[in-house]
Structure 1
């Protein structure tokens, strides 16, 4: 049966487009806009207040002058020293009007339209011109005195014109200064951004330069450097994990493969039980290596786990019971209270590693002790073995380091036990080191900050180091 011709393949659905990230206004523009808005508001309100205040001050000064002149005229009219004819002949720079029952006497035509203000000085408009007007009662009637406000209006208009020029210029000047200052202040931030953006996995050792001035930008650069250091440490920890795992897992895998190839090539030379035993032994060794590496990786990246109340002496007593249950000899006379803050599980793992290490190298027995000295809680484990050479006391804490004696007496050991001890101590803010035990063997000390206060803190024996 012939197959129907295949139709055109359906078009693939277009991949969803990620929405474009809208670029927001830069900090520089936002600061500039805020500064200009604040300056414009302050200068605008200040300018209006200044013009109003200037106008009122000039009006008040003119009113005071008129009041003095009015008082002098009123006294003269009442005393008879100022006659009506004298009022008419006065200059018209100051308008004077005497209103009485017989009529109005003025020194200028504009004065006839003046009205006597009530309660002090007033501003009136006569024939399209503004006047400052004051009045007073005399025996003959009412005297009204006024002076043109043209000079005040001219001064106010001049001040307004100056402000209309000065305020925009000030705003432009402030905006320019803010733009330059903010730009210079943010330039180091932009350089830091560009430098950090250029750091990739191949250049994690690069750092942002600091100025040493201690300002906000300098603190930002220092923070970025600390962050880069943490990123570099995490990356190196992962690289070290991969390197260590590939190096150490190669040996058990090679052993299992070689034994399997030998069993296949020469079946008569091996048995299934022997092959299973090799696989189980090497698998257990691989499991221990992987578990140790994973623990070290977690310590490298996440620190000391959950912190809560713990006790090194309680952990030491648990190890004493375990060792004695296995038939081992252990001296616990030096165990004293040593409260700490930390992860009890990790601390117990570190102490067990120290005890197991001491058991592997001891000839007769081991000793364990704990104490608090000068705010530091310490736990030590001694053995009576051959001890450590001075050059090996630091090297023994490195990962996958196995000394010759350890290789001979501890076949299959991964060399991670003491490395885990040191990493656990450092993750808890402490340290681990090796020294000489009183019996001549090795002493390993785990130290970390203590918890709370101990009124009866004992001193670590002088040979602890």
Structure 2
């Protein structure tokens, strides 16, 4: 299949190039022949008219006599006639008498071509005194033979050139497409299990090398995506297995020792782990919708109202929250998702704080900056990008009871991106972590 496709492209390219060259060669050949023919004819006509003028001066001059009898008969190797007003031949050169006898040459204001004795001749004429006309016929056989030779050469050269172009194009296209075929075969052999393989980049630094480089970059992205997907599936499986294992262990314990296990204790464990399992599943579904760009709708959302709601919620739990930096700001987005974004950041700040949390909403120019900071241990500089990956928990948050599922900040980043914004983390004024979400203001 690949070989047939290669030959098809090669044949189409060769045919196209040959047709283009054929049209160009034919136009050039006909143009050259036409220009050469006009040039030869014009040159012969000028030579004939020049000789005619010389003869006219000679026969019109003193002593020329009536009909120029004293000069025409002495002309050799020329066909010359002097024709009277009545169309009769008054005098003629020896060659004219031999070839034409008493037949007069045709008269015309312009030079014209005729055949005399099977030889192509150019006939020109000029008026003499006494109402006589001098007519001269000049052979143009050499010019005709030259044009015939050129026509034969063109008829042979054009097909040979076309054949040469076709063969050259076939070889050049084949050589040019050979690396492409090799790249296609290499890429065709790369499966999901061998995404680490790469295409060899030729040292030519041309478009083929650029294609190979582009293919390798694509393979890098596919490899990274497949690695992230496998890691995500592995982490998700582990996170989902943990609550299920806890429920199963307590159920088996209650079944084995019904006298020592109370129904209330078992129900509490099942309820807690079920809620945890539900939260993980809902988070995974939300992330999947965000990845697909669906499940959201835009409407006017007052971020200051959402932020003040989080401040009240945290204060009701006894957390010291500074909400003095909240200013009025409206954005276009999904209020449910933006509310979850703020809640995830607020819960993360409370989880890692030593007692103080601050939430601010500050509009500036066309953007609004939502900041959530705490006075905890902060995030190391080399971990500030990684914490937004899924199922990532820093060392102090390895405990699932304290650190959650590791999906909260990934959801924050997904919601921010879906709303046309970004999220970043740096050090807070107290040395803890400060998360800054940048969103475009609504018009």
TM value normalised by structure 2: 0.81
* Closer, same or farther: CA 275–362 of 1 in aligned 2, 3 Å: same
Which residue number corresponds to residue 88 of structure 1?
73
**How far off is 1:243 after superposition?**
0.3
Picking from 435, 438, 441, the partner of 1:445 is 435
SS at match of 2:15: helix
Picking from 83, 86, 93, the partner of 1:99 is 83
Q: What is the rounded CA distance, in whole Å, between the counterparts of 1:340 and 1:23 in structure 2?
A: 54
SS at match of 2:406: coil
Which residue number corresponds to residue 21 of structure 2?
39
* Closer, same or farther: CA 181–259 of 1 in aligned 2, 3 Å: same
Q: Which moved more, 1:332-341 or 1:69-78?
A: 332-341
SS at match of 1:91: coil
**How far off is 1:390 after superposition?**
3.8
TM value normalised by structure 1: 0.78
Say whether the 8 Å CA contact 2:351–2:403 is kept in structure 1.
no
Say whether the 8 Å CA contact 2:303–2:328 is kept in structure 1.
no
Q: In proportion to residue count, which structure has more helix?
A: 2
Q: How does 1:29-428 map to 2 (within 5 A)?
A: 29-82=11-64, 83-92=68-77, 94-100=78-84, 101=86, 103-107=89-93, 108=95, 109-112=98-101, 113=103, 115-140=105-130, 141-210=132-201, 215-296=206-287, 302=292, 314-315=302-303, 317-325=305-313, 327-328=316-317, 329-336=320-327, 348-362=339-353, 364-371=355-362, 378-384=369-375, 386-388=376-378, 390=380, 394=384, 396-397=387-388, 399-402=390-393, 406=397, 410=401, 413-422=404-413
Q: What is the rounded CA distance, in whole Å, between the counterparts of 1:420 and 1:286 in structure 2?
A: 17
Q: What is the rounded CA distance, in whole Å, between the counterparts of 2:99 and 2:296 in structure 1?
A: 96
Q: What is the rounded CA distance, in whole Å, between the counterparts of 1:210 and 1:451 in structure 2?
A: 46
Say whether the 8 Å CA contact 1:354–1:418 is kept in structure 2.
yes
Q: Which runs of 5+ in 1 are unaligned?
A: 1-21, 454-465
Q: Which moved more, 1:325-334 or 1:131-140?
A: 325-334
Deviation per CA, 1:341-363, whole angstroms, max 9, x where unpaired?
A: 88776554333211111233445
Q: How does 1:19-38 map to 2 (within 5 A)?
A: 26-38=8-20
Q: Which runs of 5+ in 2 are unaligned?
A: none
Say whether the 8 Å CA contact 1:331–1:366 is kept in structure 2.
yes
Say whether the 8 Å CA contact 1:210–1:222 is kept in structure 2.
yes
How many residues are matched? 426
Q: What is the rounded CA distance, in whole Å, between the counterparts of 2:35 and 2:330 in structure 1?
A: 75
**How far off is 1:35 after superposition?**
1.2
Q: What is the rounded CA distance, in whole Å, between the counterparts of 1:322 and 1:431 in structure 2?
A: 18
Q: What is the rounded CA distance, in whole Å, between the counterparts of 1:236 and 1:170 in structure 2?
A: 56
